Amino acid sequence: MSWKVDVDGDTCIGSGMCAALKPEVFVLEGATATVVTGEVEPDETVLDAADSCPAMAIEVTEKGEVIGPRP
Ligand code: SF4
């Protein structure tokens, strides 16, 4: 089982928090974060990154169901 991770580049404000939390998954390119890999093994830190994104720009899905950010 794996999770899919997306960053909305139009919404991202380039805070860099996600890349600091999980550099294996997120990288800051200029003023916008992108994903190093869109498919990740389940990892609580990826959900933490989605939860803590100040722009709510990160979406984590499992089998098409949104699991992050958490409510
Ligand atoms: S935490 Fe959110 S706003 Fe900050 S760089 Fe990552 S995706 Fe962009």
Q: Residues with Cβ < 8 Å from 48, sequence gap 6 or more?
A: 21, 22
Which one, of 49, 19, 21, 45, lies nearest residue 32 by Cα? Answer: 19
Q: Which residue has the tokens 């869109």?
A: 38
**Mean of the per-residue pLDDT values for the chain?**
97
Q: CATH no. for residue 8?
A: 3.30.70.20
The whole domain housing 12 covers 3-68
What pLDDT, on a 0 to 100 scale, did the predictor assign at position 12?
Answer: 98
Instruction: Give the other-Cβ count within 10 Å of 21's Cβ.
Output: 17
- At 29, the pLDDT band (50, 70, 90 cuts) reads very high
Ligand 1 pocket test, candidate residues 5, 8, 11, 15, most atoms within 8 A of CB: 15
Rounded Cα gap, residues 67 and 30, in angstroms: 27
Pocket of ligand 1 (CB under 6 A): 7, 12-18, 26, 28, 33, 53-55, 57-58
Tens-place pLDDT, residues 48-64: 999 999 999 999 999 99
What pLDDT, on a 0 to 100 scale, did the predictor assign at position 44?
Answer: 97
Structural domains of the chain, count: 1
